[in-house]
Chain A
Amino acid sequence: MTAYIARRFGQALLILVGISLVTFVLLYLVPADPARQIAGRSATAETVENIRNQLGLNLPFYEQYGRYVAALARGDLGRSYLQKTQVSELIASRLPASLLLMAGAIVCELLIGLTMGLVAALRRGTWVDSSLMVVSFVGVSAPQFVIGILLLYVFAVQLGWFPIGGYGTFRHLVLPALTLGILGSGWYARMMRSSMLDVLRQDYIRTAHAKGLKGWKVLFGHAVPNAILPIIAMIGIDIGMFMSGIVVVEAVFGWPGIGQLAWQAIQRIDIPIIMGVTLVSACAIVIGNLVADLVAPLIDPRIKLR
């Protein structure tokens, strides 16, 4: 077990180095000049050149990247070009809000998605099944900013049940978490439905009925634990999907998380922040997958971690 986790962290380190390299190359190739951004439109060529020298932007690529990785190894994510604060501080102040949003979204998508999938499977081939699948398809295919704005309009503007934006109370959390969760819940509804249909066909379900177990015991004691197995691996992958989702959702709802931080940094080519957010996201995905893999054997004894 310990060896397994150690090996997974070793792999994670390699992944992070790879991601940092790819991101750095992409930012290097972007035809925009961070120094010009910092200096402002009216600055002279000399000022810009000075800033470029100061930040080491005129060094060859490998040297820039070498410096960055060397600092990273010391735990230094660098300083924001524009805000002049440590990137690690900026991320630390924004991360809790994003994690809260993600936790809310996971709860939303599991509650909505699994329930929809379960009901659809049990009512297979009826109008209930077809309408639930249409709803889930809409959830999967509608862009998140559309869903976000729709929810805002109905529940915040028209009904006034929830605040229009901001951060602080549980009521602030509901709409953004729902927006972020609806996409995933569509996927979960479809997965849960097909997984349940598959499990309900299995011989051991027939055995459970043949024993004379009550219907709900067969469902929750035998069918659901088996049907949920493929879903668990999905949750790990989901955290990656959230990372792209929060950039949009935080912008729509004015949620002060790292999604907004990243959005602002991208607009201004604030390379240290972009790098920092990317690496933190990558860490979240790696950890999410690891946790999913660690949970799976608790439910399915046949899975052995090696």
Chain B
Amino acid sequence: MSIEIPLLSVRNLVTTVSTATGPRPVVDDLSFDLAPGETLCIAGESGSGKSMTALSLMQLLPQPMARVASGSAVFKGRDLFTLPKEAMRQVRGNDIAMIFQEPMTSLNPVLTIGRQLIETITAHESTSLSQARQRALELLNQVQIPEAARRLQQYPYELSGGMRQRVMIAMALSQNPDILIADEPTTALDVTVQAQILSLIRKLQAETGTAVIMITHDMGVVAEMANRVLVMKDGRAVEAGPVRDIFAMPQAPYTQALLAAVPRLGEMTGTTMPKRAVRTWEQTAPKEVVDVDNLTVRFPIRSGFFGRVERRVHAVEGIGFKLYRGETLALVGESGCGKSTTGKALLNLVPFTGDVRIAGTHTQGLRSDQMKPVRRDIQMIFQDPFASLDPRMRVGDLVAEPLRIHGLATGSELTDRVAYLFKRVGLSADLLERYPHEFSGGQRQRICIARALSLSPKIIVADESVSALDVSIQAQVLDLLQDIQNETGIAYLFISHDMGVVEQISHRVAVMYLGRFVEVGTRAQVFDNPQHPYTKALIAAVPVPDPERAPKRFSRLTGDIPSSVRPLSYEPPTAIYRDVGDGHLVAELS
């Protein structure tokens, strides 16, 4: 690409954030070029400075904390960093447009889609309102939003996340910019929606010739989108080059480690056990620790004069499964499919009907004091390690708390037990006296695991427990979970949206869609021989971190998952399952 004249040429960019101890560089001496029409992916883990780079280029750094300290960004013969405010405003949206990670919060909630789109069009060209409206309609059609005319009247809250991200893209493209900066544009979206948005960006890029700077932490997205890659760590460029070279022959040790940590969907083909399965506990007969039959959870929606129940959310609809000692069952599906609700029902945290047995005890209708002994057997680890630890308690006390509540240990016995748990999850016992904010995300998740393990439960429900972590940390935590299982024979109900992670850790997999299982089987059955169209679409939508694989024909799923809100009279049809061999169950298409 070096033959062409670069469209954008960044040299020695340093961006600093002011801290109590003086300015700290978050982007440090970064240089790169962007050629017309190409896609440059800036890849890196959290804190690598990739978003700060994008915001520096747009001159949208959070004021007054962050600023560009030195360097240049030459675009069409002008240095963006020395442009006067008004000139920079005209560049934004017109020459360089940007879309952001959170489609839920990136649109103004109190203005209609039409108004927000039209003001983008009229910000840079003087058009009449009717012309701008016409252009807005064209743009919505271009980003494949159905019923465009009606959408103009709607407010952001009436649209799904995928639709909002399409609106954001429509806005960004309204002035035919030379450069589109996309900052983690699909990270907050479901995998099938992500596939749709990525293919849309590619299609529009082919049509308009816009150069794209895509910022992502997902090496799968990098492989599918990039022409060239810039890998960042701690604000510095670690490695840069054409995408094939980076994936085939990564030079820097960091890049090699990063790529090694990425779960690659399909890498487990031909095996039946999870990645690190080495059993050290005594296996006698398969012992079932969870038995769920016809579990149904429906949430009432109240409205009207007397707050009558008028509709219901059918969150979980008649599912059944067993979980055995030493086994990991993965519940996989997209947001709103009922997988987290299932996990909560197992701990009796939501009212449910049907039968749930935890280590032999029926839990339906138990009061919380009756649940207490059951909770010794089943514990939970949550997604957000930042929100699930009380910031005012010392981490040692957090881990000791379950033991105290259940009266299992006191005094020096308690201290020893907590120190042991800390060591078990790979943390030093010296850290017991510290507070949660002193730990990184990965360390906090280890603390959460130590807390869940403190009662020596038979089952742990892990609800998206590695989703918030960077891939390298994620790999370590997954290894830890599997090591603990190998050692103790604990069973995991592993709830996740990430097919790559699920493939690595699970013995069996259940695919959930709209509150039901559409496919259940062993890991090998579901991943190597998916039968249900939804399972196939889900697997097909996962971006594969391998640029040599031709961009896939993207999923046949279009649009959004239908709503599970139903009128009171709605009785769902009973699901019929077909056994396609060795207990591999697939829901019949109705």
B76-103: contact bitstring with A at CB < 8 Å (1 yes, 0 no)?
0000000000000111111001101010
Binding stretch for chain B, among A21-29, A81-89, A219-227, A243-251? A219-227
Inter-chain CB contacts under 8 Å: number: 82
Contact B89 A214 (CB under 8 A): yes
A175 vs B64: C-alpha distance when bound (angstroms): 40
B152-179: contact bitstring with A at CB < 8 Å (1 yes, 0 no)?
0001010000000000100100010000
Contact A212 B110 (CB under 8 A): no
User: A299: CB under 8 A from chain B?
Assistant: yes
B90's contact among A206, A212, A299, A306, by CB below 8 Å, is which?
A212
- Closest A residue to B303 by CB, please name it: A306
Contact A301 B60 (CB under 8 A): no
A204's contact among B98, B105, B155, B303, by CB below 8 Å, is which?
B105
Interface size on B, residues (CB 8 A): 32
Contact B168 A207 (CB under 8 A): yes
| Contact of A212 with B102 at beta-carbon distance under 8 Å, contacts A300-B109, A301-B110 already known | no
Contact A212 B92 (CB under 8 A): yes
A209 vs B93: C-alpha distance when bound (angstroms): 8
User: B248: CB under 8 A from chain A?
Assistant: no
Contact A211 B92 (CB under 8 A): yes
Residues of A within 8 A of B572 (CB): none
Contact B60 A208 (CB under 8 A): no
- Closest A residue to B98 by CB, please name it: A210
Contact A210 B60 (CB under 8 A): yes
Residues of B within 8 A of A301 (CB): 109-110, 155, 157
List CB contacts (< 8 Å) of B109-139 with chain A. Answer: 109-111, 119-120, 123-124
Residues of A within 8 A of B123 (CB): 211-214, 217
User: Nearest Cβ in chain B — how far from A197, in angstroms?
Assistant: 12
A212 vs B94: C-alpha distance when bound (angstroms): 7
List CB contacts (< 8 Å) of A38-84 with chain B. Answer: none
Interface centre among B107, B110, B120 (most CB of A within 10 A): B110
User: Nearest Cβ in chain B — how far from A237, in angstroms?
Assistant: 22
B233-253: contact bitstring with A at CB < 8 Å (1 yes, 0 no)?
000000000000000000000
Contact A300 B110 (CB under 8 A): yes
Contact A211 B100 (CB under 8 A): no
Contact A208 B108 (CB under 8 A): yes
User: Nearest Cβ in chain A — how far from B523, in angstroms?
Assistant: 38
Contact A204 B92 (CB under 8 A): no
A21 vs B108: C-alpha distance when bound (angstroms): 47
Contact A210 B93 (CB under 8 A): yes
A202 vs B106: C-alpha distance when bound (angstroms): 8
Contact B92 A3 (CB under 8 A): no
Contact B120 A211 (CB under 8 A): yes
User: Nearest Cβ in chain A — how far from B281, in angstroms?
Assistant: 48
Contact A299 B110 (CB under 8 A): yes
Residues of B within 8 A of A229 (CB): 110
User: Nearest Cβ in chain A — how far from B83, in angstroms?
Assistant: 12
Residues of A within 8 A of B64 (CB): 125
| Contact of A209 with B60 at beta-carbon distance under 8 Å, contacts A221-B119, A306-B303 already known | yes
List CB contacts (< 8 Å) of B41-67 with chain A. Answer: 58, 60, 64
User: B305: CB under 8 A from chain A?
Assistant: yes
A190-204: contact bitstring with B at CB < 8 Å (1 yes, 0 no)?
000000000000111
List CB contacts (< 8 Å) of B452-503 with chain A. Answer: none
A221 vs B120: C-alpha distance when bound (angstroms): 12
Dominant secondary structure of chain A at its interface with chain B? helix
A285-301: contact bitstring with B at CB < 8 Å (1 yes, 0 no)?
00000000000000111
A2-21: contact bitstring with B at CB < 8 Å (1 yes, 0 no)?
01000100000000000000
| Contact of A306 with B155 at beta-carbon distance under 8 Å, contacts A204-B109, A213-B119, A225-B110 already known | no
Contact B155 A302 (CB under 8 A): yes
Contact A226 B110 (CB under 8 A): yes
Contact A206 B100 (CB under 8 A): yes
User: Nearest Cβ in chain A — how far from B460, in angstroms?
Assistant: 35
Contact A203 B102 (CB under 8 A): yes
A84 vs B60: C-alpha distance when bound (angstroms): 71
List CB contacts (< 8 Å) of B257-286 with chain A. Answer: none
Residues of B within 8 A of A306 (CB): 303-304
User: Nearest Cβ in chain A — how far from B565, in angstroms?
Assistant: 15
Contact A210 B58 (CB under 8 A): yes
Interface centre among B102, B108, B157 (most CB of A within 10 A): B108
A221 vs B157: C-alpha distance when bound (angstroms): 18
Contact A212 B93 (CB under 8 A): yes
User: Nearest Cβ in chain B — how far from A303, in angstroms?
Assistant: 10
Residues of A within 8 A of B106 (CB): 203-204, 206-207
Contact A207 B107 (CB under 8 A): yes
- Closest B residue to A6 by CB, please name it: B305
User: Nearest Cβ in chain B — how far from A138, in angstroms?
Assistant: 28
A90-132: contact bitstring with B at CB < 8 Å (1 yes, 0 no)?
0000000000000000000000000000000000010000000
- Closest B residue to A200 by CB, please name it: B63
User: Nearest Cβ in chain A — how far from B42, in angstroms?
Assistant: 17
Contact A206 B60 (CB under 8 A): yes
A7 vs B110: C-alpha distance when bound (angstroms): 27
Contact B119 A217 (CB under 8 A): yes
- Closest B residue to A301 by CB, please name it: B155
| Contact of A204 with B157 at beta-carbon distance under 8 Å, contacts A210-B97, A221-B119, A306-B304 already known | no
Contact B171 A211 (CB under 8 A): yes
A161 vs B157: C-alpha distance when bound (angstroms): 52
Contact A204 B108 (CB under 8 A): yes
Contact B110 A207 (CB under 8 A): no
User: Nearest Cβ in chain A — how far from B131, in angstroms?
Assistant: 18
Contact A204 B107 (CB under 8 A): yes
A221 vs B118: C-alpha distance when bound (angstroms): 13
Residues of B within 8 A of A3 (CB): 305
Residues of B within 8 A of A202 (CB): 105
A207 vs B108: C-alpha distance when bound (angstroms): 9
Residues of A within 8 A of B124 (CB): 212
- Closest B residue to A303 by CB, please name it: B110
A291 vs B93: C-alpha distance when bound (angstroms): 40
A229 vs B109: C-alpha distance when bound (angstroms): 12
Interface centre among A207, A221, A301, A302 (most CB of B within 10 A): A207
A206 vs B155: C-alpha distance when bound (angstroms): 18
B108's contact among A210, A215, A222, A299, by CB below 8 Å, is which?
A222
Contact A226 B109 (CB under 8 A): yes
B109's contact among A209, A221, A302, by CB below 8 Å, is which?
A302
Residues of B within 8 A of A225 (CB): 110-111
User: Nearest Cβ in chain B — how far from A200, in angstroms?
Assistant: 9
Residues of B within 8 A of A222 (CB): 108, 111
| Contact of A203 with B105 at beta-carbon distance under 8 Å, contacts A210-B98, A211-B123, A212-B123 already known | yes
Contact A226 B108 (CB under 8 A): yes
User: Nearest Cβ in chain B — how far from A300, in angstroms?
Assistant: 5
User: Nearest Cβ in chain A — how far from B116, in angstroms?
Assistant: 8
User: Nearest Cβ in chain A — how far from B174, in angstroms?
Assistant: 8
Residues of B within 8 A of A212 (CB): 89-94, 120, 123-124, 175
Residues of A within 8 A of B93 (CB): 210-213
- Closest A residue to B105 by CB, please name it: A203
A213 vs B168: C-alpha distance when bound (angstroms): 15
A279 vs B238: C-alpha distance when bound (angstroms): 74
Could you list 19 further interchain pairs (A-B, Cβ under 8 angstroms) beyond the known A204-B109, A225-B111, A302-B157? A202-B105, A203-B100, A203-B106, A204-B105, A207-B171, A210-B97, A210-B98, A211-B119, A212-B94, A213-B89, A213-B120, A213-B123, A225-B110, A226-B110, A299-B110, A300-B110, A301-B110, A301-B157, A302-B110
Nearest first, the 6 A-B pairs at minimum CB distance are A212-B93, A212-B92, A203-B105, A211-B93, A204-B108, A210-B98
Residue pairs across A and B with Cβ atoms less than 8 A apart, 19 shown, are A203-B102, A203-B105, A204-B109, A207-B168, A208-B108, A209-B60, A210-B60, A210-B93, A210-B100, A211-B119, A212-B89, A212-B94, A212-B175, A213-B93, A217-B123, A221-B111, A301-B109, A301-B110, A302-B157
